[in-house]
Structure 1
Amino acid sequence: MISSREDAHLREELVSSGEVLQGSFLKVLRDSVVLPDGKAATREYVVHPGAVMVIPLLEGSDAPTRVVLERQYRYPVQRVMIEFPAGKLDSGETTLECAQRELFEETGYRAGQWAKAGVIHPVIAYSTEFIEVWFARDLVPGPSQLDSGEFLEVFDAPAVELITACLEGQVTDAKTVAAALWLQHYMAGTWSPAWHTAV
């Protein structure tokens, strides 16, 4: 099994930690560590509160599955990106509560059923960020509730077109590309999420 291997010989031990920057919700730390061979090294990384991403499905018996997506300008890469709805966890919020809130706020949709897909770590070399991935279906449309200063365009597209766009490099957002794996297996019937009714 891939996950059953011993890894003690690869671990790094913390010696000291210092804060480099405290932003509005991100923090940068610089740690001193001891490597497995006994040598010293420095690790700089971003502490992130965690986030969720939602794969909203528009399914019908007489039509191919479509997914709800967003187009949003991302300043660090200076590009408009195609993504699934997503957002960071608020203090005291469960990941499902966050998923439900973000879906509604960003797209206006509410979902009757939810299923957890899994967790991804999008930037393991320099951030603690994790993103929990949720599927949502039985969608009911409504007006979005965007935050002040938040600008995005909501649209839907055939799921097969999104998967192709990921494979061809047209969609490069890491979390959306990762989600395409679950989506592809869901559509092929080789992976089945455990659905439950929204509360």
Structure 2
Amino acid sequence: MNDDSHLRETPLARAELLRGHFLHVVRDTVRLPGGREATREYVLHPGAVMVIGLLDDGRVVLERQFRHPMQAVMIEFPAGKLDAGEGSLACAQRELLEETGYRAREWAFAGRLAPTIAYSDEIIDIWFARGLTPGERQLDEGEHLDVFSATPAELQAWCFSGEVIDCKTLIGSMWLQNVQRGEWALEWSPRQAAPDAGQSAP
């Protein structure tokens, strides 16, 4: 690994700008590698998961949900943020059940995604799930979304046409393609129980 000390910034102080119901925004004062000081404003995030659910017929589980900042209905893979003290797999299992009603027989951790590195420390863990069985959704109050399925080819076409622009779903589609081609391997295991609290990765 190359030495990156000449690129690193040294944190000096932090001021809180906003602590809302969801967003926590701070301004850090840092010392740049050249010695000058600068400020960095960004969002602190508890972390999140995304689930690529594979149906037995080869289709994938997707959602359509209105996203207020975009003022548009977006096509996405199921996803959600971690609750306090919640492990990554436990969150993936919970979000899949709550949003889609599906439970999975097997799970595989794929990797991590940092969607907004310039203004947030959010990390999204990418999970694959298979052996899905349907059930009742458990949506949060005020949560409205449609669940549907599509072939990987249909999803890829929507990514190419611009109908899908959600970052995590674009990355999920890339992961799916490489897994299906046999170029990226997954380690599947029957994970029925949630991991220990605080476990942020498998």
TM-score by length of 2: 0.93
Letter in 2 for 1:148: E
2:73 aligned partner, one-letter code: V
* Per-residue deviation, residues 32-89 of structure 1 (Å, max 9, x unmatched): 11111111111000001000000000134xxxx2100000000011110000000000
Match of 1:50 in 2: 47
The CA distance in 2 between the partners of 1:67 and 1:115, in whole Å, is: 15
Q: Deviations over 1:107-142 (max 9, x none)?
A: 000000000000000000000111000000000001
Letter of the structure 2 residue corresponding to residue 133 of structure 1 = I
Is residue 27 from structure 1 mapped to residue 24 from structure 2 by the alignment?
yes
Task: Give 2:92's match in structure 1, choosing from 88, 99, 107.
Answer: 99
SS of residue paired to 2:174:
helix
SS of the residue aligned with 1:198? coil
What amino acid is the match of 1:19? Answer: E
Aligned mate of 2:62, from 33, 45, 69:
69
Note the residue ranges of structure 1 that are not aligned, 5 or more in a row.
none
Letter in 1 for 2:114: H
Q: Distance in 2 between matches of 1:108 and 1:141?
A: 6
Deviation at 1:155, TM superposition (A): 0.1
For the residues of structure 1 that align with 2:175 and 2:3, how far apart are their CA atoms? 28
* Displacement after TM superposition at 1:25 (Å): 3.1
- Residue 179 of structure 2 corresponds to 186
The answer to whether residue 148 in structure 2 is matched with residue 155 in structure 1 is yes
The residue type equivalent to 1:87 in the other structure is: G
Q: 1:108 aligns with which of 101, 107, 116?
A: 101
Distance across 2 between alignment mates of 1:40 and 1:59: 55
Any runs of at least 4 consecutive aligned residues in structure 1 with deviations exceeding 3 A, and if so which?
none
Tell me the C-alpha RMSD between the 2 structures: 0.9
AA paired with 2:8?
R
Q: Which residue number corresponds to residue 37 of structure 1? A: 34
Aligned residues: 192
Higher helix share: 1
**Identical pairs, percent:** 58
Letter paired with 1:152: L
* Structure 2: 5+ residue stretches without partners: 193-202
Using CA pairs under 8 Å that are at least 6 residues apart, name the structure with larger relative contact order, 1 or 2.
Answer: 2
Q: If each structure's strand is expressed as a fraction of its own residues, which one has the higher value?
A: 1
